[in-house]
Amino acid sequence: MLLVIAVFSFLGWGYSGSRVSPAQAILPLSGIIIGVDPGHGGYDPGSSRGDIIEKDVVLQIALYLRDYLQQAGGLVVMTRDEDVDLLEIPAGPKKDRDFQNRKKIIEDSGADLLISIHANAITSSQWRGAQVFYQEGSEEGRLLASAIQYEMSRVLKNTDRQIKSSNFFMLREISAKAVIVEVGFLTNPEEADLLCSPDYQKKLAWSIYVGIINYLSQ
């Protein structure tokens, strides 16, 4: 499933045509293609606590993020915009197929950036806080992660976590500058409640969005 949402088509901008029109030039994300990847979905719930399920929480945040990016003139490509998995490639273990299809959607779109959104879970309930991961060795990934982490700390006022390098599939295998945003811990009761709140979900999406804008203007 490829969901390409072309915004501002009323400006006469076509996918294969000129990417910049005078009216678009004032929008900060004009001509930028951003992949948004809500983790898990369908058969794969991700982590959970009671009836709070990662695949649902991250989808809501991703949809708010999509809206902010589109309002700024960005072309947003989502790996999913509903509760589905991505198993179109017919052979192999489910998780591998799901990852390969996510990769294909992002690569086919020519995305400049990829924001993959997840939520954390751990046995102890004491841990909390949103945190951004980037591919080890990627300077651009580090800069993008820093910009988003800074805004999350500033806007949410409840995380002092620092960015961290890693080697996850969605960072390593994607040519776009990619980060994984872990929006918080479902295993922390207070944070889990926050993550279910539309206001908090919007704050998270907003801080990711502003981080992207700041990264691009560096």
Residues near Zn ion (CB under 5 A): 39, 46, 118
Nearer to Zn ion, 118 or 203 (CB): 118
Position with the least CB separation from Zn ion: 118
User: Shortest approach of Zn ion to residue 7 CB, angstroms?
Assistant: 27
Q: Taking the C-alpha atoms of 98, 93, 42 and 7 in order, what is their torsion angle to the nearest 10 degrees?
A: 10
Nearer to Zn ion, 30 or 79 (CB): 79
Q: How far is CA 166 from CA 55, 136, 178, in A?
A: 21, 5, 11
Nearer to Zn ion, 46 or 129 (CB): 46
User: Shortest approach of Zn ion to residue 167 CB, angstroms?
Assistant: 15
Cα gap 4→67, rounded to integer Å: 13
User: Shortest approach of Zn ion to residue 92 CB, angstroms?
Assistant: 20
Closest CA relative to residue 74, chosen from 87, 65, 61: 65
Nearer to Zn ion, 33 or 181 (CB): 181
User: Shortest approach of Zn ion to residue 55 CB, angstroms?
Assistant: 8
Residues 173 and 111 sit within 8 Å (Cβ to Cβ): no
